[in-house]
Structure formats: C-alpha cells, structure tokens
Amino acid sequence: MRNTRILNQHWWFQEGEHVVESFADLSGLANIEIPHNAKDTPFNYFDESMLHRSFTYHHIISCDQNMLHDTQVINFEGVLANAVVYVNGQKCTSHSDGYTPFDAVISRYLTLGDNLITVTIDGAENEEIPPFGGAIDYICYPGIYRNVSLTSYNAVRIQNVKASASDVLNTPSLQVTTRLQYFSSFNSALSVLVELLDPQNKIKAYSNFTVNNGETIFSLDFDNLTDIELWDTENPVLYQVRVTIVDPNIKDIFVAKFGFRDINFSPDGFYLNGKRLQLVGVNRHQSYPYVGYAMGERAQRLDADIIRNEYGFNMVRTSHYPQAPCFLDRCDELGLLVFEEIPGWQHIGDKAWQQRSLDNVKAMIERDWNHACIVIWGVRINESEDNSEFYQQSNALARELDDTRPTGGVRCIENSEFLEDVYTMNDFILGDGEQVLRDPRQVTGLDHDVPYLVTEYAGHMYPTKRYDCEAWQSEHVMRHLRVLNASLADKRISGAISWCLFDYNTHRDFGSGDKVCYHGISDMFRIPKFAADVYGSQLDPHIKPVLSPVTYWTRGERPEAATLPLIILTNCDRVEIKIGDSKSAFFYPDKKNFAHLSHPPIIIDHNNVGDFPLGGWGYAWSDVEFRGYCGQQVIISKLLSSSPIPSHLNVELQTTVLKAHCADSARVVIKALDQHGQILPYLDDILNVSTSDNLQLLGPSQLVLKGGAIGFWVRAYEAGEASICIDSQSFASKTLFLKVLD
Ligand code: GAL
C-alpha cells in the first residue's frame, strides 16, 4: 500500500558541494527544515552573485526490513537548480530544472539501518539550464524550496492519472487515463477500480477492470454523465477521480481533483462554459522578501486569495515558470483562471537547452493537467525571438500531451510567427502618447482575427513605490485604468494581464538600482498601492464596497499645491464630498472616458469641480469626508484628516493557529494610522519585533515603516503557545498570541 510521509524535518545544510559517506561528516552542520532558502537575501541592495554557488543538503532515512522489501521513492516538488541526489554516497538521480518536480527511486541503494541522502544544488545560473544563459528580470533563489516526501510502494504504482472531461455543455463524459510504473517484474494481471466522486465525495460512477500483464497506460470512459455541476469562476465545483489497484499483493491509490468546464479562446474572445468572459488578470512571481521561494502553503494560498477576493482578478499568469501545486489548488478552489508557462526569460539556448525546455513542457503539463483553473499552457520562453523549429516542437508536444487546452507563447515582438492557439502579447505601448493598446492585427500582422490575449502591460513603463508621492500614484493609477478600459473595449481581445501583483527582487540589470522592480500593484509584503484599487473597485459593491480617493489629502503634497485632478476609485454610484463646514457636492463616475469599466472612476478636475472648494490655494485646510452611495444608501465612507496625528498602530495577523514543522507561516501587516483610521504615509517609525522561540521571524527584527506600513512573516517550528511582540517609538507595544499545533 502506498504510504507517504513528508520529509521536511531534520535536514543538514552546508555551503559548497559535499558528497559525504559518513554520518560523522554531518556534525556541526546547520540543522534546517524544508522548504529552505539556501541563502537569505536582504530586502534590497544585495549582491546577487552570493546566490550563484553550490549548496548541499543531507538527510538520514532509517530503513527496516519492510522498507527494504518495498520500493522507496523520494519526491522533490521543487529544487533550484541542477539537483543531484546521492544515497550513501552513490549517485541516484539528477534533475536540472528548478521549477518542476522529480522522483528519486532510492531502493536499490538502501541498506538496513541508517542511510544518508545527500542533495547537491547549484545556484550558479548554469547557462545550460533554462531559464539561464541571458539576463533575467527576477531572482532565481537556490534551495530545496518546496516539500519533500518519501513514499513506500509495492512492485507497481499508479504514476499519474489524467481526467479529461468533454462535451460538458451537452452530454458530459470523462476519460480517465492512468499510467502505471512497474518497479520490479510483475507477472500477472491487475485489478483496478476507477471511481468518479462528486463534490460531496460520494461515488457518482465507477468501473472495475483488469489491466493486462505489464500494461502501463490504460483509459476508461464514463459516458453520458448526468447532473454534472460545471466549474466556473463564480462557482468552482470540483470533482475527483480515484484510481485504486485492488490486487491482493499490490495496493495503490491515486486521487486527482478536476472540474467539468468548457473553455474556448476564439477570435472574438474567451468563452467559459459557452459564455464570453473578459479576462482581467495579473502576473505573479513566487518570491517573498528575505526567503525567496521558500514559503509554505498558507503564504502561497494567500496570494491566490488576494488576487481573487481582494482585487477581483479572474486570471493569474504564473510568470515565468510553473508555481507551487498548493497555489494552483487554491486557484481551483477560488475559480481563478491560470495561464501557466515554462521557465524562461527572453533567452533561448542551444539544442540541448531547448531539449531541457521541452522536458519542462512535459513536466509542467503532466504535473498540472487536472487543474480546472489552468486554461492555457505557455509553451514559449517569455519574450523570446521566434524560433520555428523549437516552438513547433513545444506546441506539438503540448497538444499531444493535452488536447483539452490551447497553447500560448508570450512574445513582445510584432509579426511573430503564430504557431500557438492563442496569440499572446506583452503590450507595453502605453507611454506618454495616446495609444493605449495595439490593435491585435497590428501585432499579429495577419489579415484576419485570431484568438488574442494581452499578457503584460504597465510594469517597467511606470515603476511606482507604495510610498511614492501622490502625483506619481495618480499617474500609476491612470495607466492601469486606461489599459483595463481599452482591453475591455475591443471584443477581439480576450483580456489583459497586468504586470504585476507585487514588487520583486531582481538582478542588477533591472529595477531601481536596489535590486527591486517596483512594478507591483502592491509591495513585496502584498500591501496594496492605490493602483490595486483600480481592480478592486470593479468588484460588486455588495460584495466589497470600495472607496479610494487617490490622495494623501494635504495642502502641499503635489507640485504647485494642486489637489486636482482627484481620482476616486470606487464601485459606488456616486460620491458625496464634504470639506470642513462647506456644503457637500456629489460627483459621478466618468462613464465617458472609461465607458467599458463596470465601475468607472470618478475624476474631479477643472471641468466638473465648479465652485466646490476642492483645490484653490490659500484657504484654511479642513477635514474631508467622502461618502459612497449605492442607490439612496451610503455603503462606505472615508474621513481624511487635515491634521493627521499618529493614533493607532494597526496590526493584522493572518492567523492565530499555525501548524508545526511544515513551513507554515503567518503574515503580519502593520500600519500606522491617524485619528480617522487612515494610513500615515510619511511616518518612518522604527519597530522592534521579537517572537517566542518556536517562531522564526523571516527577516530582520528591526523594521522601519515604509509609506506608513510594513509587513513580515513568522514561520512556525515547535508546537505550543507562541507570541509576537512589536515595540514602536510612536505607539504602545503590542503582543500577539498564537498557537502552534502538532
Ligand atoms: C517584461 C517581462 C517581465 C518584466 C516586465 C517588467 O518585459 O516579461 O518579466 O520584466 O517586462 O515590466
């Protein structure tokens, strides 16, 4: 019977490449837990070459007779990069890619008692391995940064299962394809049970059958299924297939979640279950401050929640590599559509490099083909030149592996060879001029329309820090508004995916000189900038009312002491503004300039301000109140002070319960607020953070508020009571209490 245990605890770690055979060699080495970042990075201003080294991990596996009798397989979900696995000093396997999983079948190297597993990795950006070989605008953090598990199998295992639903809008059917792997010769037929489980985990259909001796791949169809609930963005219903080997000698089970949904990219847009759905997306890197890629499930899932629930996006692109399975699981659960792509950034290497990239296409698709959320495979190296032969192969391979999803391949050049099913383009045309997005035919160079998706915009065209001045924030917001509106205006454009979710660390060749690209709609701690409200304000006001005046409400923040134009991002029908004792005035969404948005912003400027005293130099500065209406009702209001005083240190703790020893972490967001609960954007308070011994603070213990706010994560180790203490100069100390469970 398959028996899996997570192998994240009790690893030894050292810099350099050290394949040792004796346990004595481990004495004195650092004891660490997986997920692990080989080299922590400062928040900014670091020398990325410190990551370009080799590192070694060791772990001891104790084997009894039963384990020796069965087949032992270690699964690595993500190791960057060029991992080589040794057992008792003998090389067992290697895997060069840093983003896809691999197995090490270790049985034949094992002996009774303790066995030493050694994994060497190389952070050197070896140009033989994608994405390396050219410049890259992000950091590739070395480490064993996703889960490791050990599974005991009998002579045969179910290696993978693919659930492909078809004709779901008429007569749904499901094909379940199973692949077996034989570890040792096995000379008899196997009895297999395939079950379809409904969302309540009840068996909806099943079939028993026999697999002939030695057969590795078999398919089974469930036809004419009735009462199937479709997976969609609003109601993401998930089913499961369960495949079980029920032989007296061999037992194994494999469960895969999937959804019944119909997807179609056509020249007039994207259709989900037969209905046109405009894609509004964001690009996500998988990095976090200080610890790079090494974050556990709760942190990964939080990103998906922020994207879907706080900002209201319906699509995310996993720029520029396959991301954590737990992130994709959350996208499945949230109804968040995914564009997943292979590792790469502009550079294409030689034939051997290209073959590795094709291996990545296969590994990505075979890992993720059951995710309902994934609606397109990215099979080009992001923004690379055309390469007919390579990309014909990557497309053919993707289609052969999965004929239920279209291919895309992200480019930034016009008239590129169209080999994919969807023409996907990074469109950064918006600068100071009038053109907001290119016409799809201008991009494709074709005389007819084809399925078309904008995969990046904004980003480096207008880098913005969360604490940049108000005038800069307004322009940042305006650019996001304009592209979003333009993408909605042209029905040939399936949607647009903005660059990007949060600021990220990068190489010296990019960013603001401090190794950060300030391209996010939120900062590295996922604390939103004003531009995030461009998207959040498109949500249904009954789900989440949004009222975000893009202002710090000061007399002299902007050049020439201007207050106009004032953008208000809101999903309210109208906003009433009252300044001090003046009479209030109503302002309305700008339906003329932003006709395609569900909730256009309100823009107050010299055309519509009339004699309302918003602006004008020289009068007394007063508090302002914004009241947002839906119909006759005020659903949200905001009071901005004319004289903000530090009044409250707001601390949001993501959860008070963590799990021990599994990289479980809680995010803490700290905001300095004034007497009306508004952030104090220029308060540079210094904080001292300390934690109980069973928590690790990820990052330094002395923090400075940036733009009135800062974040950090704490990671749980031993079970028990836990606490976080925050001391500040301007506010009273705060202590937060958590529980870490076994
Ligand atoms: C694109 C690239 C992204 C990022 C972005 C910055 O060219 O695909 O990875 O670098 O520019 O705006």
Distance in angstroms (rounded) separating the CA atoms of residues 588 and 229 = 40
Ligand 1 touching residue 456 (CB < 6 A):
yes
Question: 342, 383, 427: which to mutate for ligand 1, most atoms within 8 A of CB?
Answer: 383
Ligand 1 touching residue 131 (CB < 6 A):
no
pLDDT of residue 619: 74
Phi, psi of 23 (to 5 degrees): -65, -25
Cβ neighbours of residue 80 closer than 8 Å, sequence gap 6 or more: 98, 99, 121, 123, 140, 141, 142, 143, 145, 293
Cβ neighbours of residue 368 closer than 8 Å, sequence gap 6 or more: 322, 325, 328, 340, 374
Whether 1 shows a pLDDT value over 70: the answer reads no
| Chain segment 267-279, per-residue pLDDT in tens | 999 999 999 999 9
The DSSP code sequence of 60-92 is EEEE-HHHHHSEEEEEES-EES-EEEEETTEEE
Distance in angstroms (rounded) separating the CA atoms of residues 44 and 29 = 28
| Chain segment 113-143, per-residue pLDDT in tens | 999 999 999 999 999 999 999 999 999 999 9
How far is residue 651 from each of residues 80, 190, 295, 669, 709, measured CA to CA in Å? 34, 57, 21, 6, 10
Nearest-CA residue for atom 3 of ligand 1: 137
CB 139 within 8 A of CB 292: yes
Tokens representing 427 are: 């469109």
- Which amino acid is residue 339, in one-letter code? F
- Which amino acid is residue 154, in one-letter code? N
pLDDT of residue 182: 95
Closest CA to 189 of 215, 218, 156, 212: 212
Distance in angstroms (rounded) separating the CA atoms of residues 548 and 570 = 6
Closest CA to 464 of 568, 539, 550, 544: 550
| Chain segment 406-434, per-residue pLDDT in tens | 999 999 999 999 999 999 999 999 998 89
Distance in angstroms (rounded) separating the CA atoms of residues 717 and 299 = 16
Name the pLDDT band for 2 (thresholds 50, 70, 90): confident
Q: 365: which DSSP letter?
A: H
456 an active-site residue?
yes
What is the chain's mean pLDDT, rounded?
A: 97
Ligand 1 touching residue 665 (CB < 6 A):
no
Q: How many residues does the chain have?
A: 742
Ligand 1 touching residue 411 (CB < 6 A):
no
Ligand 1 touching residue 341 (CB < 6 A):
no
Rounded average pLDDT over 644-662: 97
Distance in angstroms (rounded) separating the CA atoms of residues 214 and 202 = 32
> Which residue is it, tokens 């190389």?
122
| Chain segment 20-75, per-residue pLDDT in tens | 888 888 999 999 999 999 999 999 999 999 999 999 999 999 999 999 999 999 99
Report the relative pairing of strands 30-32 and 90-95 from DSSP bridges: unpaired
How far does CA 311 lie from the centroid of its chain?
14
Whether 616 shows a pLDDT value over 90: the answer reads no
| Chain segment 458-499, per-residue pLDDT in tens | 999 999 999 999 999 999 999 999 999 999 999 999 999 999
Helix (H, G, I), strand (E, B) or coil at 405: coil
User: 14: buried, middle or exposed (CB in 10 Å: 19+, 13-18, 0-12)?
Assistant: middle
| Chain segment 278-327, per-residue pLDDT in tens | 999 999 999 999 999 999 999 999 999 999 999 999 999 999 999 999 99
- Which amino acid is residue 388, in one-letter code? S
| Chain segment 215-224, per-residue pLDDT in tens | 899 999 999 9
Q: Where are the alpha helices (DSSP H) in 618-723?
A: none
CA of 628 to the centre of ligand 1 (A): 36
CB 686 within 8 A of CB 544: no
Tokens representing 608 are: 């519509």
pLDDT of residue 323: 98
> Which residue is it, tokens 């690209």?
517
What would you report as the CA-atom Rg of the chain, rounded to the nearest whole angstrom?
27
The H or E element spanning position 245 is: strand 239-246
385 an active-site residue?
no
- Which amino acid is residue 444, in one-letter code? T
CB 341 within 8 A of CB 321: yes
Tokens representing 103 are: 């197995």
Q: Which of ligand 1's atoms lies nearest the C-alpha of 517? A: 6
Whether 187 shows a pLDDT value over 80: the answer reads no
Which one is catalytic: 33, 383, 420, 470? 383
pLDDT of residue 565: 96
Rounded average pLDDT over 189-205: 97
- Determine what percent of the chain is predicted with pLDDT higher than 70: 100
Name the pLDDT band for 177 (thresholds 50, 70, 90): very high
How many C-beta atoms surround the C-beta of residue 197 within 10 A? 18
Ligand 1 touching residue 499 (CB < 6 A):
yes
